[in-house]
Amino acid sequence: MPKVISPVKLAAVLAGLDKGDNYAKIACDTSISHGTISNIHAECCPDLKMSVGGCPCKISPTAACHATCLITHHNCVTAVHIAKTLNVITGQPVSAQTVHWVLKGAGLRALKKVRKPKLTKKMKWDCLAFAQAHQDWTIEDWKKVLWLDETKVNHLGSDGVQWVWVWKRKDLDERGVVETANFGGCSLMFWGCMSYAC
């Protein structure tokens, strides 16, 4: 059977809820349990919005929008770079972690940049022409093709890992690619081929 609360305590709980006090403060002031306060909140004022707790956001909505624009339309590629830019623009200290949370809240995610050979316009047109010329090939036609592949192994230095922020479900983006050249650094090239008969 539910516990009966005196009208004085009920009024104190409702006053605390109206002021925006959290359950812990109301429970301390009225000696009523968190569960009972939650029930009173649900029955008497269900539309009243309560504070979600935690620290208030240190970045304004305008600055958050600007951070998203910097990462998607300009040359800022890291949360650290955006934090430095926002510090200069707003004059308020903003940490890289705060920018990281803002970008995640906006629907962005960090993605490793993929290294691919730099393609010229002519190469892209050649690829398109090849695809259009062979789009009607059958499996038997493809079985006659000799497949070649090559891979590069670095002897000195490292290709490293680079990250980029992109919208969710948008992996194919030019910003997510690091362009490479044919003759860069000391490396070993391995080449191989195979056919259907192999």
- Which domain range does residue 25 map to? 7-44
Q: Which residues contact 16 (CB under 8 A, 6 or more apart)?
A: 25, 26, 29, 30
Whether 178 and 128 map to the same domain: the answer is: yes
- Please indicate, yes or no, whether residues 79 and 143 belong to a single structural domain of this protein: no
Residue 126 and residue 66 share a domain: no
What is the per-residue pLDDT for 92? 83
Q: Is 66 part of any domain?
A: yes
Number of structural domains the chain divides into: 3
78 within domain boundaries: yes
Question: What residues does 147 pair with on adjacent strands?
Answer: 194
Please name the amino acid found at residue 93: P
Instruction: Tell whether 146 is covered by a domain.
Output: yes
For the chain, 198 residues long, give each residue's pLDDT as a single digit of tens: 356 778 888 888 888 888 777 778 888 888 888 888 888 888 877 777 766 666 777 788 888 888 888 888 866 678 888 888 888 888 888 888 888 888 888 888 887 777 788 889 999 999 999 999 999 999 999 999 999 998 878 765 456 777 778 777 666 677 777 666 666 556 788 899 988 876
How far is residue 115's CA from residue 159's CA, in Å, rounded to a whole number? 9
State the pTM of this model.
Answer: 0.43
Q: Is residue 168 part of a domain?
A: yes
d(CA 85, CA 70): 9
State how beta strands 114-117 and 147-154 pair. unpaired
